[in-house]
Every structure is written in structure tokens, then in C-alpha cells.
A = this chain, B = another copy of it.
Amino acid sequence: MKELPKILDQRWVEPRFKLRQLDLEFSNGATRTFECIPSKGTGAVVIVPLADADTVLLSIEYAAGLHRYELGLPRGRIDAGESPEEAANRELKEEIGFGAGKLTTLRSVSLAPAFMAHQTHVVVAEELFEERLPGDEPEPIDVRPWPLDELHDLLLREEFSEGRAIAALFMAREWLRRGRRWE
């Protein structure tokens, strides 16, 4: 893994969002106050880029929450007016320098539904071709091809940790094994 970025300075700032506090009455008469974080924008995509039917392209990207390089899948926010597939194709070009001839959304997954409305669409990208769009990444994102047959070895890597990415890879493998059928 790469040398970690240096922390030049740090500070604590007020969040630019408020929490939604809900006073609830359940059907049995019990009352509780719950809190949740509002959802911003139109959700996100996580992309499973397939170099071929046996090989996924993983990304190696700095993750500030854990202050380490994380092995994972390309992902990003859906911009206003974009479909999940369009967002996936743009993020692929910005992050790892590939476009996709074929994009398939399997389903969306939630992050923490007890607290957040946030949704992430799982998109499989196939028929890849080289094309790079300028992004806002501070450095090129390294790409690591990984055999789908060796998914279990990936689960043993501490730095491949994101729940959504693990779910997306298993779902893509399931989809491939079912002859690219989801329903």
C-alpha cells in the first residue's frame, strides 16, 4: 500500500446539516423519539467493473474515516439529472479511466436505514474500454484486478472492509452465476 497522506492540520467544525427528530406513536400505543440524518441529493452508486466474467477491477483509494488506503469498488454521488448508469459510467472514467459499453443496475442498498435514508445503487459495468475524464481525485487511483473465484481471499484482507462493497461483489457473482439474470 502507498505512503499515507500527511495530516498538515486538523480542526473540528459544525456539521452543515441538522438532525430530524421524530416523535412517534407505535401501533401498540408506545411512544418514542427517534433521530435520523437527512438524505442529501439523489443517492450514490457503487460500481462492480468486470474486466471479464471472472475478474473484477478493485480500486485502492485513501479513506479519511479510517486514515488508511482501502481496497474497494469505485463509487460516487449521482449528479442532478443523471441516471444511476450514467453516474456509474462517469465515475468509472474519472476514477479508474474506463468507460463501459454495458451497465446493469442490480438493486439499491441502504447504508443504515435506522438513521439514514441514503441509498446506493449497485451497478455492474461490462465491455470496458479506456477513457479518462478529469475528476477531483488528489492522485491517480490504483486499480487491482481480482479473480471473482477468490472472493473469499479478499474477505480475509482487513483493508477490504466496506459492507456495501462486500454486498455488491457477492451480488454481482450471484448475478453472473445465474446467467446474468437478477429477477
Residues of A that sit less than 8 Å from B by CB: 2-3, 5-15, 17-28, 30-32, 34-37, 39, 61-66, 70, 72, 107-120, 138-139, 152, 155-156, 158, 161-164, 166-168, 170-171, 174, 178, 182-183
Question: Is A12's CB under 8 angstroms from B21's CB?
Answer: yes
Question: Is B117's CB under 8 angstroms from A66's CB?
Answer: yes
Question: Is B27's CB under 8 angstroms from A8's CB?
Answer: no
A118's closest neighbor in chain B, by CB? B65
Question: Is B116's CB under 8 angstroms from A65's CB?
Answer: yes
Neighbouring B residues of A174 by C-beta, 8 Å: 152, 155
Sample (28) of A-B pairs whose CB atoms are under 8 Å apart: A5-B25, A5-B26, A7-B24, A9-B22, A10-B20, A12-B19, A13-B19, A14-B14, A15-B19, A24-B62, A27-B139, A30-B138, A37-B65, A39-B65, A61-B114, A65-B112, A65-B117, A70-B114, A107-B155, A110-B162, A111-B112, A111-B163, A112-B162, A152-B174, A156-B182, A163-B163, A166-B170, A166-B171
- Please, how many angstroms separate the alpha-carbon atoms of A119 and B37 in the complex? 18
Neighbouring B residues of A15 by C-beta, 8 Å: 15, 17-19
From B11, B109, B114, B164, A65 is in contact (CB under 8 Å) with: B114
A17's closest neighbor in chain B, by CB? B15
- Please, how many angstroms separate the alpha-carbon atoms of A24 and B166 in the complex? 28
- Please, how many angstroms separate the alpha-carbon atoms of A107 and B167 in the complex? 14
The winner among A8, A30, A66 for most chain B CB atoms within 10 A is A66
Output the least CB separation between A142 and chain B (Å).
12
Neighbouring B residues of A25 by C-beta, 8 Å: 5-6, 8
